[in-house]
Structure formats: C-alpha cells, structure tokens
Structure 1
C-alpha cells in the first residue's frame, strides 16, 4: 500500500541550481569526461564516500545489489521523504524477508558524479549493519545504479575507482588483459569460469560480488559434482546477509580458472543450503566470485557492452589464507580506557627543561572512549575454543599491543598468520581480566583417530 508521509531521516535539500536535463534515475558527470575517487579497502571490501540529499555517508560498492540500500540509521540523522512505499527485501541468510521503505527522487553524489532522481531502499532493522564487521561507519550499499551509467575502472592496489563517460572512453591496447562476456539477472553481473575439484574440471556460472570479502562461493550440487565432501573442510561462520547469518563449509579447491588466468589452492566456501535457497533459484548459477579474488586484478566493468576486462596486479600471487584462530571479532560499542599522558619536563620554577635538571613532574591520565572488539563466534575445535575463549569476551590486548590502538582488520590479520605463531590475548569477561595463549593451527589438520 502506498502512502505519503514525512520522515525525519536526513536533511532534504532541493538544489534548484542543478540542471534537471539529466535523464531521470541516471548518474552523470556535469562538464567532465571522467572522475577519480579514492576508496578505503577494508577486509577486501570497497568503501566509498557517498552524499545523499546533502549528507555525507559511506557505502559499500557491491555488484551483487541492484538499487541502493540504506541502513545503520541513528536518531541524529534526519531526512524528509515523500511518496514512500513499504516493501520486503530478501538476501542471503537463514532468516526471513526484511521490511524496507522505497523512496524516489533522492539526490546522490559520488565524487563528481550526480544523480538527481535516485530510487533508494531504506532498512530500519538494526541487525543489518556492516559497521561492527568492518570497524568503520558504513551506512549502505550501492551497485548497479552506479555501474550502469559509466565504464568503471577499479584499481585495488592504488585504492582508486575511475568513472568514465562511455561516449568518450577508449580502450587501451593490453596484451596481458583478458575480456569476458557478462550476463545479467536482476541487474546483477555473472561470468563463466572453471573450477578444479579433485580430478574434475567443471564449468561454473558465478555472480560477480564485490560485496563479499571471501574468494569463492560454490553452491553444492551432487548432480554437477560440486561438493566439499571430497576435500578437507571445516564448518564456519561465513558472514551476514540481508536475511541473516550464513554458515557453511570452508575448504580449498585445486584451481580456479578465468580463461588464461589460473589461481591455485583457492579458498572456497560452500554455504548451507538454507541460506541460499532463494539464490539457487537463478537458473545455472553455481556460486559467487568475490573480492579476495577480484582484488588480484585491475578491473574494467562495462555493463552496457556486457563485458569485463581483467589484468593481473601485484596481489595476484598472494597466498590464500584462512583465519587460523577460530575467532570472529566485531566492534560492539566502546570501552572506557584510562591512558597515561606524558607531561612536559619542567624545572622547579615551572619552566620547560629539556636537560632534565631538577625535574618536578606529576603523572597524569586521561579517560576516553575506545572501540570495543568483541568475540561473536568461536569455531568448534579451533585453537581459540581449546584455549577457553567464549562468545562475548572483549579483547583488551593482542601480543602486547592494546586492541584499541589497532584497526579491526589489523587485529583479524594477526589471526591469519603462519601456522605455529603464538597469539597472546588479554580479554575481559564480566568483571574479570583473563590472559589466554594459543598457537595458530592448520585449519585442515587431519584429526587423529582414537586408539
């Protein structure tokens, strides 16, 4: 049912000075042929600055989404939206559909690219929030709405996206590039590749998903021979979608191939069927090609011509590593932290004294709010579980470094270290502070059979 109301959500700014000759619902670059936008790369995910109705926000660039979705809304945000319509969205996950509002005629600005009439979905469910997983504020996701209007170049090494007007873009000769045909379903791009499972080389059709930090997802199908059963694997938390948490098997496959590009010993997830039952309805889809692989290329997306161009970058030969600790961390709120403050050296008269003669100092402290990194999952039979760590434990320090001095991705990177590396944690559990020590293990270490 459609209805009209005003919602205080963001400040609505009507820009009368903007030229409304642009096509409705399209991005344009007024007076420019191209634009370059810096992005943050957090856990393989691209986070872009996006302005909506005059308010500066941060969005994930996600080729797996059609219309932009806004979430992580706080009481300090305010926007007036008219002609709102209630709808229900479904994504990956083990839960049900999510209630959302659809709003039209929103002003979007990304770099110098503007869209004066962008449709937008707004989700109020506070459980849908990527900020805890990434450790920085993220307010939404955007994909097709941006890609459809430009030829988009992504450079993962320099952390730059280039938006190019199609009519003025010229492809440069590139002997080391490969070009692939794209197909689309619900405005989402798919590409064909090959996977090597055991002795079998199988063709696969994969969603290109820049919004997933994994390398490769495959949907198990015994009829096609796509299964994790013949490989070493472990059960794990795979992530969170619009419809809830996703669990499944993590494994490695011998090889993944895109024409002449071949990657070996590739991290591969096989999500539980309950989380992907709606995704599997798409004819011939076998899984997703995600950011841990995509970051190994310089990429050109050309949606209108339905083609994708890839060139190896410096990440191409990087080892595929798993979290060897069994800990999944998120940022949940803040902790009050007491820090010592280094005072200036003063003499007995209160003068600055760099020679430290007759020093009189008073030690002082300051108290501030710092990010709190909380364990939300502990993998069964992992080093973390064997060491006694529990969900809800709050990380204070790791290997002698205060957790709040590190970014979330810096902490999780420690858990992907070499087999045998010692991890020393100080954690807070209720009113107790506990020291924990364990060694990182090979996640595919074969279990010893009982005598």
Structure 2
C-alpha cells in the first residue's frame, strides 16, 4: 500500500514539474536541497530511493555509472526492467564483472528526482562492501548526480547541498582556492603539485570521493613519482574487479595552490591493478577522501570548477592502520549481556512494625543477544598483529578487556590508528578456542 501511495504522489507531481529524461530535477521552489550524510572510512554515504525502496549509496566522483550491488538480489525488490547484460571493468586484479543495465528507473535523493535513472545491477554476489564498512551499503552514484547540480560538500557538518546551476549564486570567498576540472569519460581531473625527494612535480589526479585513502600515485620514474626508502606492502582496498594491493608511504607535501599539506599518506598500487584505469595515459593517480575531507568543497560540473575551503580537519595528522589488521563484520555471535531490569528477589511480607523483611533489590541477571562478529580478513606480513600470532579468520571477542559488542566496526578500527607504541590486548576466538594476544602499534615512519 505504501508503494502505491508513493507512485500516486509521483504521478500528481508530473502535472506540475517538468522533467528531462535521465536528469535529476529538484521538486521545490528554491531549486536547492540539503541532504545529510554519514562519513564512514572517509566515504560519503547518502540516502537514495530507487523505485520507492530506501537504500544507502556512496557518493563517488570517481564513477560514471550508477551501480547497484546485487548481493541480496535487491534488483528483484526494485523491479528493475528493460535490462541487458554488459561487463564492467575497474580497479582490481580480477576479470570484468557481469552486470544488468536497466533504464526507466525512478531515483530520488532528498527533493531531487530522476524518472529515467540508468542503473547497473552487478550480479557478482561476492561484491559486497558492507562488511568492510560495518554499515549497509547498496550502491554507488556519481556522475548522474553531479552533472545536474552544483554540489556543496560540507565534511564538518556532514551534509551535501544540491542546487540547480541556473539559480546558483556563488559567494565571494577570499580564503578559497578554485581549480579547473578536466573530464575524461565523465570523470573529473585536476592538476596539483606534489613534492617527492625535494622535487616539485605537477600531477593530474582523478577526484575520487569514493576512495578512503588520501592520495594514490602511479609510479613513474621518468617523472620522479616513486616511493621513498621507507614504505610497507599492504592491502589498499577493494575495486570493482577485485582486491588492490601495493605500497604505503608518505610524501613531503601536496599543494592545492596556496594550501600546503605536509607528510601526506600516499599509496602506490601494484601495476596489475591498474591495467584498466591507466587507459587515460595522462593520469598520475587520485586525490581521495582522507585528503578531501580536510576541505569543504563546491563541485560544479557545468562550469568545470571545484573550490576548496579548508575546514577544522585541515591540520589533522595523516595517520594509518598501525596494527596490520583489517576487519570485516561478516557474521553474528551470541553474547552474554547483563540485564539490569531483572528483579532478583522481592519479599513483600511485613513484620509487626509494618516493615518489609526483605527490600526489593535490582540485581544484574544475564541474557543472550546476537551481536556483530568482527573477523580478521587481511593481515599485513611483518605487522605487529602477525608477529603477535594473530591469524586470518580470528574473531575478535574483546579489545583491551572490553567486549567488542560495545563497539562499532569503525570504533574498533580507529583504535588501530593510535600512536606508535600503544599497547593493545585482543581476545579472539579461533576454531572455538579463546586466545589472548598483546601487540604494540608500530609506525614505520617514526623508526
């Protein structure tokens, strides 16, 4: 019944609002709307309705197609139609992935609506980013939204504002830096300077709000783009076609005109993961979430400009996971928890002075509850975690003597970014056996 009402409401709106096929239009007089988002692992997660179903999408400047993950057969619930089979390529060492291309879908983001949304439903059931984020995630949207609006991104207050370019009025901002964007296959690129081994190097970078790291660079000895002597091999993330591995290091500086960021984290992905993305030969890498979040942004595809205004995160140190552990929330486990609402004993009989013999006492009883299980799915070779004896598949039970059911996946992962030498005690379950390990976080750049 709810879905029928929604479509009836939409039909009424058609009489008063003019839509263009494949474009978003804002359904209010201001022609502007503010949408709250969650910031998880430096990724912007926004609420999106597809054919009346509420979902969560990554807002990703680095994609030119709107993608639905089909690990829960969600495309059946969305009633997607007019499908054809295609194959998609992206970051990762695997083969192209199979997807269903669908048209004439209805998408809604805040007051913005598109009545002919093109979707790509990925058929690989293993392509599921939600366990790594510890948050339900159903898809990715980028170009389809950015092309129709001026998009303001406020990383501090955690909202985006969408405005029709025809009514948008830019405010004077002396503390901002505005750069021109170039486009290749509907993806935006900017030119920055990086300093490596005391050499200033101009680089062309993809603006990639769908990446968690600060900066990715593609090694090129002829340009001087190479890792320093201090680095470590690591898992860098998931792409559409598989896992991405490479080197993590730091570079001396990144310059966005007069904005200078020092000792910036940088990743150098393995060449095997870049065969497809390096089809754009002029590209030198990506600028991603951990760097972008230090600014509030105004992204205007219509004028091909992006404005940077530094925010309170600008001076934050660039840190990274010093444990060598990558966790995934991929199951649940039974946890014994205290139940303070249980009345242990109450004797209401009274003595001769009309006083109860036994007072009512609220004691803690226990109950069993299902809680997320956090498993180790990546373990860096030579890391503190590996040297301590932890193994892939270990399920965390407690951290620093506190049960993991008290924490979200993000809260636990954040502990691994603490200072060099920090002691962390982990209790894990391995094949039904409880084991305890102690490790000390290690910053290879402070040695």
Interval containing the TM-score (normalised by the shorter chain): over 0.9
Offset, 1:333 = 1.6
Answering whether residue 150 of structure 2 is matched by residue 151 of structure 1, we say yes
Offset, 1:199 = 1.9
Q: Distance in 2 between matches of 1:356 and 1:53?
A: 64
Offset, 1:407 = 1.1
1:217-232 matches, cutoff 5 A: 217-228=216-227, 230-232=228-230
Report the equivalent of 2:353: none
Whether contact under 8 Å (1:348, 1:360) holds in the other structure is: no
Q: Distance in 2 between matches of 1:245 and 1:94?
A: 7
Report the equivalent of 1:4: none
Report the equivalent of 1:17: 12
Structure 1 residues 207 and 365: CA distance shift in structure 2, 3 A: same
SS of the aligned residue for 1:225 comes to coil
Offset, 1:360 = 5.6
Q: Distance in 2 between matches of 1:361 and 1:409?
A: 34
1:319-334 matches, cutoff 5 A: 319-334=317-332
Q: Distance in 2 between matches of 1:319 and 1:360?
A: 50
Offset, 1:146 = 0.4
Report the equivalent of 2:40: 42
Report the equivalent of 1:439: 440
Aligned length: 433
Moved more, 331-340 or 293-302: 331-340
Offset, 1:361 = 6.2
Offset, 1:223 = 1.6
SS of the aligned residue for 1:232 comes to coil
Whether contact under 8 Å (1:393, 1:429) holds in the other structure is: yes
TM-score by length of 2: 0.93
Whether contact under 8 Å (1:238, 1:248) holds in the other structure is: yes
- Residue segments in structure 2 that go unaligned for 5+ positions in a row: 351-355
Report the equivalent of 1:27: 24
Report the equivalent of 2:116: 117
SS of the aligned residue for 1:167 comes to coil
Offset, 1:374 = 0.5
Q: Distance in 2 between matches of 1:350 and 1:270?
A: 75
Report the equivalent of 1:89: 88
Structure 1 residues 362 and 298: CA distance shift in structure 2, 3 A: closer
Whether contact under 8 Å (2:340, 2:363) holds in the other structure is: no
Q: Distance in 2 between matches of 1:85 and 1:350?
A: 76
Offset, 1:224 = 1.5
Whether contact under 8 Å (2:416, 2:441) holds in the other structure is: yes
Answering whether residue 401 of structure 2 is matched by residue 400 of structure 1, we say yes
- Residue segments in structure 1 that go unaligned for 5+ positions in a row: 1-9, 447-451
Report the equivalent of 1:339: 337
TM-score by length of 1: 0.92
RMSD: 2.0
Please list the CA deviations of residues 174-207 of structure 1 after superposition, one character each: whole Å capped at 9, or x if unmatched.
Answer: 1100100000011110000011110211110000
Answering whether residue 424 of structure 2 is matched by residue 423 of structure 1, we say yes
> Greater helix percent: which structure?
2
Please list the CA deviations of residues 152-181 of structure 1 after superposition, one character each: whole Å capped at 9, or x if unmatched.
Answer: 000000001000111111111111001000
Please list the CA deviations of residues 127-155 of structure 1 after superposition, one character each: whole Å capped at 9, or x if unmatched.
Answer: 21110111000000000100010000000
Please list the CA deviations of residues 240-277 of structure 1 after superposition, one character each: whole Å capped at 9, or x if unmatched.
Answer: 00010000000000001111111000000000000011
Report the equivalent of 2:386: 385
Structure 1 residues 177 and 360: CA distance shift in structure 2, 3 A: closer
Please list the CA deviations of residues 353-389 of structure 1 after superposition, one character each: whole Å capped at 9, or x if unmatched.
Answer: xx99534667532222211111011111111011000
Q: Distance in 2 between matches of 1:445 and 1:432?
A: 36
Please list the CA deviations of residues 99-145 of structure 1 after superposition, one character each: whole Å capped at 9, or x if unmatched.
Answer: 00000010000011100111000002122111011100000000010
Answering whether residue 310 of structure 2 is matched by residue 317 of structure 1, we say no
Offset, 1:443 = 2.4
Structure 1 residues 340 and 356: CA distance shift in structure 2, 3 A: farther
Report the equivalent of 1:103: 102
Moved more, 210-219 or 16-25: 16-25
Offset, 1:75 = 4.9
SS of the aligned residue for 1:49 comes to strand
Q: Distance in 2 between matches of 1:325 and 1:86?
A: 42
Q: Distance in 2 between matches of 1:18 and 1:91?
A: 38
